[in-house]
Every structure is written in structure tokens, then in C-alpha cells.
Structure 1
Amino acid sequence: MTTVNVQDKKRNVLKDFLEGSRLSIPIALGYFPVSFTFGLMAVRGGIPVWIVILISMTNITSAGQFAGTNLIIAGAGLTEIAVTTFVINIRYMLMSLSLSQRLVAGVSSIKRLIMAFVVTDETFTVAAMQKRDISFSFMAGLELLPYIGWSAGTAVGAMVCTLLPQTLQDSMGIALYAMFIALVIPAAKKSRAALVVAGCAIIISTVIKWIPVFSFISGGWRIIIATAIACTLGAKMFPPQDVETDRE
């Protein structure tokens, strides 16, 4: 390989990285307040600050982190925690498999694993919208800032929580509910399928929680059951072609 070709290759790598980084800025900014809330919630629940930060640095899973950490705080069993987080996060495996079909030739297994580690709903969407094959350098740029934003937000939220008065810490708990409402409402407004699935999940979870005959079911298994039934109903009621038409 000539010196000119090597220089061209390095320029392309840098160009792809910078392009990915540019597209990731809104994602990183959006992750900070959500992970800030996670840090507050987890430390308020009694988990040490360093463990909370470590959770975010090793699990970029948003809803999965909130659900799993809430179960840890509630003293749930390992099986319940594992199954709950698996059900919530299984979509990331499907996203990674989808993106693997779009990668340029020659991407090693190690690089594929690194990319898959920070695949999220948002980074997947941006990557999937690209009209060309995806390089490792592009994905590295796309995922680096969101990873930093998520980890930094958690760290700031966790450390700030230790400095706030207890009354203010208690009031911050409402931010978690506000976050989930902010996630669900826009999707439900755009898609009837999302509205129906979310409504079914809420109804099923409420029934299991408040009807005495189901009182033996813990919070984690309630999430699992509600998710499984609601998603199954959604798949039956709204086949893929119907969902596309609904969005249009």
C-alpha cells in the first residue's frame, strides 16, 4: 500500500469519526438529564455512588437500568432481575444484528463487540438511516459522546444527590415519572400501535397489582408479564404493514 493510499485511508477514518460525532451531539445532550435522574434515583435508593456510576458505565440501557435498579433497591431475587432486564433489553441484540448487515467489509469481531456495547435506540436509528455502509470509525464517533453523556449525567446526579437535603431528594423522585411520560406520550401520539400496546401494559400491570388473587406476583414479574402480553397483543393486532401505514 502506497503512502498516498495510507493517508487517504486515515483521512476517511477521521472524516467518518467526525461525522458520527456530529450526529451524536443531540443524543448525548438528551442522555444527560435522563441519566442524571437515574443517578439521583439510585443513590436515593441506597446504592453507593461508585456502584451507580459503574452501572451506567457498563449498562447503557436506560429503561433496563431503571427497572433493574428499582428491583435491586426493592430486594428482588437475581432471577427476577435477570429476566426483567433481559426482556426489556433484548431489542438491543436485534438492533446489533441488523446493523451488522450494514457494516463495511473487514470489521473484526472485537470491533463489532465494541460497537454493539453502545447500541441504543437513538444510535441505532441514526446509523440505520445512513444511505451507505457503516464503518467502525463512524460508529465510534456516533457512540462515544452518548456514552460520555450517559456516564457523566449519572455521575453528576449521583454526587448531587448526596449534597441535597432529604426533602429535596424525595421531591426529585417525580422526575422519574415525568421522564417516562415524556418517552411514552410522543410515541403514542404518532402511532396507534404504540398507544394500544402502552395502554394494554398499563391495564395488565394495574390488574396484577391491585386484584388480590395476584398479590403473590412481585413487581419484577409484573413487568415481565405485562410486557409479554402487551407486546404479543400488539404483534397480533398490528402486523408490520399496518404499523407502517399507521405511521404514515
Structure 2
Amino acid sequence: MNHKTAFRQGMTDGIPIALGYMAVSFTFGIMAKNAGLTAFQAVLLSLTNLTSAGQFAGLGIITASASYIEMAFTQLIINLRYCLMSCALSQKLDQRTPFFHRFFIAYGNTDEIFGVCSCKEGKLHPFYSYGVIAVASPGWAFGTFLGVISGSILPGRVLSALGVALYGMFIAVIVPPSKSSRIIAGVVLVSMAASLIFTWLPLLNQISSGFRIILLTLLIAGGAAALFPVRTNDAQ
């Protein structure tokens, strides 16, 4: 597959992500405006961070006038899961892929983009990832911009509905591979049950969301890898 074909395929697969991002970041834009950020500041924040949970948490810290150290530590915990995602995604790339490709792909390694790229059959072409990022990232920034300039006129019920769009994107990412593999479907169900347990049980629900994701990812993904190993020939 040449660079142009891979890039076009990535752009096509990135359109649904961009549409979902616009809905979610619209809400972020409204919150950014209420926190005192200008349209330029909010859009720049979305372009340089590209992380919904981190940005929403960051706004709360900005509003509370907390220290830079608290901001840095919070972002580290919330976004630490991307280290695991990047390690997993790097295994999809050809060993001869130059470092600068891995560097730029890491910028757009969000939950949804990771899901789409990791489910791509065979080795991951760097330009496929670039195509997804080229559509999804501007969608997130543009939704932020729309939220800042016009979101304050919408009623609260509409804003709450827009906030659910992020979960809709997660469902769209996991359903197709779950249909084609009972093992993946089982892993998804176990993940949902474990997440529910960590949310309800005392002591466990005191673990931050960032560390909770990392812990569950290591336990469940590691267990699945040990019980159902994928041969190299099957992964090609």
C-alpha cells in the first residue's frame, strides 16, 4: 500500500471520530469560555493536548487557580494510559519504521484513534495514522471553537446530550472487533465488569481514574495475552 492510498483510507476512517469529537469538544469549548479562556486559548489547548479527560480536568484546575505542579501531576496520572497504548501501537508498526514516524503518531494517539489503528488488519502504515489524525484532530479543535463562540446559548439538556457522545464513540470502536472475535468480546465484557467493581466497591473506588485504567489494562490485557496468545503469523 502506497502512502497516498493509506492516507486516504485513514482520512475516511477518521471522519466518524471527527464528528464525535466535534460534539464532545463543543461542550469543552463552553466550559473553557466559562473558565475565562478566549477562543484562541481554548483552540490552542485542544490542538496541543488532544485529550478529553485531561483537558476537562485541566479546566477544573485552572478554575481553582491551582499550582503548575498540581496541573502537571494530574495530567500525568490521567494521561499515563497513553504510554501503554503507544507501546501496543508500536508493535503494529514495521520494525523498520523510522523514529520520527513513531514520534508524530504518538501525538494523535487518543483512545478512539488508537482503537481504529490497532484494529487495522496487518501492519500499521504510518500514513494511515496520519490520515486519521489529520481529520480527527481538526474536528476536536473546531468543535472547541464552536463551543466557545456559540455554545452558551444552548439549553442545559442539549449540553448534557452532547457529553454522552464520547461514550458513543467508545462503543463504535469496540463493537466491530467484538462481533468478529469471541475472545475480544469476552475481554470487553470482563473489562466492563471489572470497571464496575472498581467503581462500586469501597477502597477500590478511591483509586484515581487514570491509575484505574492502567491497572485494569495491565491485568485484563495481560491475562488475555497469556491465556489466548496470538501467533506472529496470525498478527501479520
For 2:208, the aligned partner's letter is A
Q: Specify the alignment match of 1:21 in structure 2.
A: 11
Q: Residue 182 and residue 98 in structure 1: after superposition, are their counterparts in 2 closer, same or farther (change >3 A)? A: closer
Which residue of structure 1 aligns with residue 208 of structure 2? 226
1:236 and 1:109, CA in 2 relative to 1: closer, same or farther beyond 3 A? closer
SS at match of 2:2: helix
More contact order relative to length (CA 8 Å, sep ≥ 6): 2
Q: Among all aligned residue pairs of Structure 1 and Structure 2, give the percentage whose two residues are the same amino acid.
A: 32
Corresponding residue to 1:144 among 134, 139, 142: 134
| Partner residue, 2:31 | 41
| 2:107 counterpart of 1:117 | yes
Whether the 8 Å CA contact 1:64–1:85 is kept in 2: the answer is yes
d(CA) in 1 for partners of 2:210 and 2:7? 38
Considering only aligned residues, what root-mean-square deviation do their CA atoms show, in Å?
3.6
Structure-to-structure mapping, 1:67-216, within 5 angstroms: 67-161=57-151, 164=152, 171=156, 175=160, 178-179=163-164, 182=167, 190=189, 191-200=192-201, 204=205
Q: Name the TM-score, length of structure 2 as normaliser.
A: 0.74
How far does residue 175 in structure 1 lie from its aligned partner after superposition?
2.7
Code of the residue aligned with 2:23 in structure 1: it is P
Residue identity in the other structure for 1:197:
F
Instruction: Identify unmatched segments of 5+ residues in structure 2.
Output: 175-187, 228-236
Partner Cα distance (1:236, 1:124) in 2: 16
Select the structure of larger CA radius of gyration: 1
Distance in 2 (CA, whole Å) between partners of 1:69 and 1:83 is: 14
What is the deviation of 1:237? 8.8
Q: Shift of residue 57 of structure 1?
A: 0.7
Q: Which amino acid aligns with 1:175?
A: S
Task: Tell me whether 236-245 or 114-123 shows the greater mean CA deviation.
Answer: 236-245
How many residue pairs match? The answer is 210
Residues 65 and 124 from structure 1, CA distance in 2 versus in 1: closer, same or farther, beyond 3 angstroms?
same
Amino acid at match of 2:223: Q
User: Normalising to structure 1: TM-score of the pair?
Assistant: 0.70
Contact 1:60/1:147, CA 8 A, preserved across alignment: yes
**Structure 1, 73-82 or 98-107: larger mean CA deviation:** 98-107
Structure 1 stretches lacking a partner, 5+ long: 1-10, 206-224
Tell whether the 8 Å contact from 1:111 to 1:136 is kept in structure 2 after alignment: yes
